[in-house]
Amino acid sequence: MEELFSAAVRRTTQGRHRDAERATFLGDLVRGALPLAGYAGMVAQHHHIYSVLEEAAAVMRDDPVAGAFVHDGLTRGPALEADLRLLLGDGWLERSAPSAATLRYTQRLREVCFTWPGGFVAHHYTRYLGDLSGGQHIAAAVRRHYATAATGFYVFDAIGSPAAFKARYREALDSAAWSDEERRRVLDEVLVAYQLNIDVLDDLGREYADGQAA
């Protein structure tokens, strides 16, 4: 039987997923070894990334293919702002400078997510399915180790059951009207998206090395 596209994406990106999951910064974060400023730094980078991704979602929501993936319950912008206000106070925006890796990430999002539906889906998939999966482990660890209520980013209370949502999302990947060639391009862009995430985590790792107060 021919492999489903969603299964091919998962299989082909397994190695990159392992690299992302094992990023030193995430390891330090989930074992409570970072200063709270390290977590705030990650939320600040997310803010820049989602701001562009969700701008693209507003454009792509009427697209016949990409529109099937857009769901208002996924929108992270307001939760990120609320989390950053808790973490950094009223001056949160000025204290949330994008890192060099985040600037490369947002530049790539601007290049591919506004005019190429498959590119948008590749980036949308990598972030939101990650947030609904490993993101939930990260949130649990942050709640356990750090004295902060700023984990609204990880709360998806308007999509129903996350497992059912992910199953429908994979069905949408499988039924998108893409040629084999387009599927290959989308898969390649998922790999690019993983690399951009790894780069952002590595930048954060250099900024907030374990044991160093920020």
Shortest Å, Cβ 9 to ligand HEM: 6
Burial of 117 (0-12, 13-18, 19+ CB in 10 A): buried
List the interface residues with ligand HEM, window 151-210 (CB under 6 A).
166, 194, 197
Q: Does 26 bind ligand HEM (CB under 6 A)?
A: yes
Shortest Å, Cβ 106 to ligand HEM: 15
Give the C-alpha separation, 93 to 66, whole Å. 30
Would you state the structure tokens that stand for residue 175, as one six-digit string?
A: 């039924």
What number of chain residues touch ligand HEM (CB under 6 A)? 19
Shortest Å, Cβ 129 to ligand HEM: 4
Nearer CB in complex with ligand HEM: 36/95? 36
Burial of 126 (0-12, 13-18, 19+ CB in 10 A): buried
Q: Does 102 bind ligand HEM (CB under 6 A)?
A: no
Q: Does 129 bind ligand HEM (CB under 6 A)?
A: yes
- Give me the DSSP letters along 117-163: HHHHHHHHHHHHHHHHTHHHHHHHHHHHHSS----GGG--TTSS-HH
128 C-beta neighbours (distance < 10 Å), count: 24
Selected range binding ligand HEM among 62-70, 78-86, 120-128, 147-155, rule: CB under 6 A? 120-128
3-class SS of residue 8:
helix
Q: Of these, 113, 130, 151, 208, which contacts ligand HEM (CB under 6 A)?
A: 130
Q: Confirm if 115 and 62 have CB atoms less than 8 A apart.
A: no
Give the C-alpha separation, 42 to 101, whole Å. 12
> Would you give the binding string for ligand HEM spanning residues 5-24, x where CB under 6 A is met?
----xx------x--xx---
Selected range binding ligand HEM among 92-100, 128-136, 148-156, 178-186, rule: CB under 6 A? 128-136
Q: Which residues bind ligand HEM (CB under 6 A)?
A: 9-10, 17, 20-21, 26, 30, 125-127, 129-130, 133-134, 137-138, 166, 194, 197
